[in-house]
Amino acid sequence: MIMRKLVLCLFGLFLMANAHADWEGNALVGISGDYARYDGTYNIGLYYTGRPIFPKTDYQDRQRNTGFGGGLLVGYQFSCNDWLLGAELSADWVDADKERVFVFTDLSNFLSWNSQLQTRNKGFYGLSTRVGYQMAPFFLSYLRLGIEAVHQEFSAVFQRAPNVYPFGLKLKEDLWRNHVYVGVGAEFPLPSSCHIQLRLEYNYHFPSGDLQEGGKIVDGNANPVFALSARPAIDMGKVSLIWNF
């Protein structure tokens, strides 16, 4: 449904641009430097299927990672008087894959667990529309609306001290998720060229469906079962150089 609305919007922009002779179009390409922050909560469920029987443990751990990266974009835009309408394809890669290490104890304080959790984003691949207004000869502000496919890897390790409890559980899931994102930005022409522009942009990537994984340790006694889910949101700032053709 979201993709259909986005395609209809792009088609509407195309019709609008061709319905008025004073609209001018041009292609563009760009490179960007990115800074991203991942903010979300890991939800861990633990219960024992053997002996002794204890109530289920629900534990939450906050994830907040930051990192740098870069990206590429290509697009086409139409301008008329002070208005700008455009569409862009983008690809971004950000290194914000810090591992989260902590210890939690089950509800009955029977066993404590060493935990290692990590969510890796291997790439953001987006399609977006952009609407801008020329506030001054040297300053254009704009809004962005887009949808993207995000390649993610979700991994977790649960274990105790190996010399005390020689059992553990490793979980790993490689998947794709779709996100809607919105943004606001400003564009400035560089003094040395009328074809190269500098962009400053902020995007908010709404959370997608939960990332979920689970598994069981068979130790012949407690037989613990783990269920894990996460739903991080992503903030991203971008500084880009744009070449207009």
d(CA 180, CA 202): 14
Please tell me the pTM assigned to this model.
Answer: 0.79
Q: Which two tokens stand for residue 171?
A: 């979980």
pLDDT at 197 over 60: yes
Answer yes or no: is pLDDT of 81 > 90. no
Return mean pLDDT, the chain: 86
CA dihedral for 18, 24, 26, 31, sign (positive or negative):
negative
Of the candidate CATH numbers 2.40.160.20, 3.30.930.10, 3.40.50.11740, 1.10.150.20, the domain formed by 2-14+27-244 belongs to 2.40.160.20
**pLDDT number for residue 91:** 97
Task: Read off the amino acid at residue 161.
Answer: A
8 within 8 A of 2, measured Cβ to Cβ: no
| pLDDT on residue 8 | 54
